Amino acid sequence: MNLHEYEAKALLKEFGAPTANGHVATTPDEAAEAVKHLDTGTYVVKAQIHAGGRGKGGGVKLVKTVDEIRSEADRMLGMTLVTPQTGPEGRLVRKVYVEEGSPIARELYLSMLVDRADGRVAFVASTEGGMDIETVAAETPEKILTFSVDPASGLQPFHGRKVAAALKLEGDLAKQCGKLIAALYKLFLAKDCSLIEINPLVVTEDDQLRCLDAKMSFDDNALFRHKDIAELRDIHEEDPAEVEASKYDLSYVKLDGDIGCMVNGAGLAMSTMDIIKLYGREPANFLDVGGGATKEKVTEAFKIILSDENVKGILVNIFGGIMRCDVIAEGIIAAAKETNIGVPLVVRLEGTNVEKGKELLAGSGLDIIAADDLEDAAKKIVAAVEGK
C-alpha cells in the first residue's frame, strides 16, 4: 500500500525526521487558506497522486502569492496529470499540498527498502538527488552507496556516519544525518514499511537537512497491525479491478497482455505467465486465487479477468492440493453461466479430485478446451487466440 506525499511527511515528522510545514487542500480556497499557517515568502503547490515525476507533468509549482496559490490549485485540481510513472492515461488530481518553500543548496538521495536477497533492511544513498535512481545506477553507479543492517545488532551509530560520508556531509550536517537515519530506521520497523524514499533530501542554504519529497510503501500482509495506516488507503489511486479483487482476497495485478490467467499459487502463476510469453503472447494479468478458493471466489475472479477489454482468451491452470479441482470446475461453470465468457477458455487441472473436476467440465455443455499439462495449455490458448 502506498501513501500520498503529505501523509508520508506526517509520519516522517511524527518520528522526528525534518520536513517543511505544509497543508493539504481539496479546493483552491483551502489551498489559499494554508498560507495563514506557513511562514515563508515562497510556497510550493504539489499535486497529490501516487506517482513520481510530478514536476515534469506540471504537478509541482513554486509560487509567491496567495493569488498564485489559488490559481495553481485551481489548475491542478481535477486535472489528469501524466508523468513518466503514470503511463499515458495519467492520474486524476483530487488533492494538492501547499508547502513552505525551501532555499536549496544541495539535492541528495536517500531511501530504505527490504533487500529480499539477504532478508534485511537496506539503505541506498547518493549525492545525485532529484534524479531517477535507476538512471544514476545505470550511468554513474559509483555514486551510489548501498548497505544492509544486521537485524541482530540493529542500527548502529557507524551506519549514520557511513551515509553521511557517502553524501559528503560533514560537521553538524553529519550529526543531523545520523539522527535522520535513526528516525527512518525506527519508522521503517515500527510501521512495517517496504519502502521509504526521500528524493530529494536537501541541504538548505542555512545548512539544515530537510526531506523535500517522500514516497512510502507498506507490506500489505502487515496492515492488520496498523489500522491507522490501512485507513489511509486511497482506492482512487489503484486500478479498479485490483480494488475489486482485494474485496475477495484475490491477488490480482493488471498487465498489458491479452491472455487472462487464473492460477492457484504465486509460483505457479509466474510460471504460467512465463510460458505464455514463451509461446509468443503476453499475459493480461497475474491472478492467484489462493489455496482455499470457493466457487464464489472463482466466479468473481472470472468477472475481474473479463472486465479487462484487452483479454482475448483465458488460461486456467490449477494444481489442486488444498484447492480441489472440482471446486474450481464448479466455479468455472458458474462463472460461464453468469458472465457469458465469450473468449476462448483453456483449462488445465491436476491434483486433488482432478477426475471429478474434468467430469464436471466435460458434462457442462460449455465450450472449454481441456489441456493435459502446462505446455499443452499454453500452446492451446495461444492457438485459440490467434485463430489457428
pTM of the model: 0.80
Mean local confidence (pLDDT), 278-301: 85
Query: Which residues participate in the annotated binding site for ATP?
Result: 46, 53-55, 99, 102, 107
Is 68 in the same domain as 139?
A: no
Q: Which residues are catalytic?
A: 109, 197
What pLDDT is stored for residue 380 in this prediction?
94
- The DSSP string of 349-366 is EEETTHHHHHHHHHTS--
Q: Cell numbers of 48, please? A: 497529490
Can you give the CATH number for the domain in which 40 is found?
A: 3.30.1490.20
Compute the distance between CA of residue 128 and CA of residue 116 in angstroms, rounded to an integer.
25
Is 149 in the same domain as 86?
A: no
User: Where residue 89 falls among pLDDT bands split at 50, 70, 90?
Assistant: confident
The last residue of one of the domains, among 85, 101, 117, is 101
Is 230 in the same domain as 167?
A: yes
Is 144 in the same domain as 87?
A: no
What's the whole-number average pLDDT of the chain?
91
Give buried/exposed letters for 179-196 (b at 16+ CB in 10 A, else e).
Answer: ebbbbbbebbeebbbbeb
What pLDDT is stored for residue 292 in this prediction?
66
Q: Specify the higher pLDDT residue, 341 or 100.
A: 100
Are 164 and 74 spatial neighbours (Cβ–Cβ below 8 Å)?
no
Tell me which amino acid residue 360 is.
L
What pLDDT is stored for residue 92 in this prediction?
94
Query: Which residues participate in the annotated binding site for Mg(2+)?
Result: 199, 213
Query: Domain range holding 231?
Result: 1-19+103-238
Q: What percent of the chain has pLDDT over 70?
A: 98
Number of domains in the chain: 3
Query: Which residues participate in the annotated binding site?
Result: 46, 53-55, 99, 102, 107, 199, 213, 264, 321-323
User: Which of 183-197, 227-241, 310-324, 327-341 has the highest mean predicted lDDT (pLDDT)?
Assistant: 183-197
Is the pLDDT at 163 greater than 90, yes or no? yes
